[in-house]
Structure 1
């Protein structure tokens, strides 16, 4: 037996809560942007992934029209800052619905670091920054799929294993359901089996 949930029988808010409790864990795009008037915005978005590798494009999905989306559409640029475990409370702080004229950098006590290829600043405390130029915004239902081409990546040396970002050193945060977040936990490693070796496994 299973419990059945139908979006037709639930409010959109209730089904949103259901989905975000099932699609877990979700990586967090900590997006910095700058308004046309010059105010730096910073907000976490947990609907986030890679959309393409050539060209390198990442995507995040605001579920409403807020400052991040307005700024990205106005300027065509943004930065995805890595959401690390030791920044947990700061990341949560930047999810507060501050008015457009207030910068979350200042409200949360975070440090701006100049980006190399785009105008919005990086979060200096974050170990990785992906500087992006807007590729496309696609309205989807009540949400907006934001696609950005990564034009530069900056990584703190202490989280690298050679030239490879190391997950254990990065210590990523992820979003779960409700007010729940998670740490990395145990890492499992397994090689993918080529079809030519399938019968010999």
Structure 2
């Protein structure tokens, strides 16, 4: 049960963002820019970063949500599961492996990121901006994970919920829906 009254029809982060639209706005703008804006990393790759960080932070809501979104963007369901099990053996590029390892380091602590990890990423083809964005996405999802879990938001157990959420985010990004979320009360 959430620590404060939240809209019952909006589990996880959506309820928190609706609860405080003033704080939600800048977070949404940053998230939209990082995960859907122009970038040399594909949207699915950026969602993998969010998925891995959320998985390592053990945030059930965010892990399920971003796995669903990444699966939709990647067009398959195997990669996320394999990445969560073992980055080294997952069917992704060496560059993405290196970037995901940096994201996991950020999840532990910003100070955990090593010059060696940065060098491996660069040697694998990662640009400075891709490294920058990986660290920022990882840090942002640490914020989200702690926000969602720190407020004890509801995390649905029905996988269909996350498929619907993933589809909504694929179609609308991280912006607030123009007409809000009352239609989800059904």
Q: TM-score, normalised by structure 1?
A: 0.27
Q: TM-score, normalised by structure 2?
A: 0.28
Answer with 1 or 2: which has the greater Rg.
1
More helix as a share of residues: 2
Structure having greater relative contact order (Cα 8 Å, sep ≥ 6): 2
More strand as a share of residues: 1
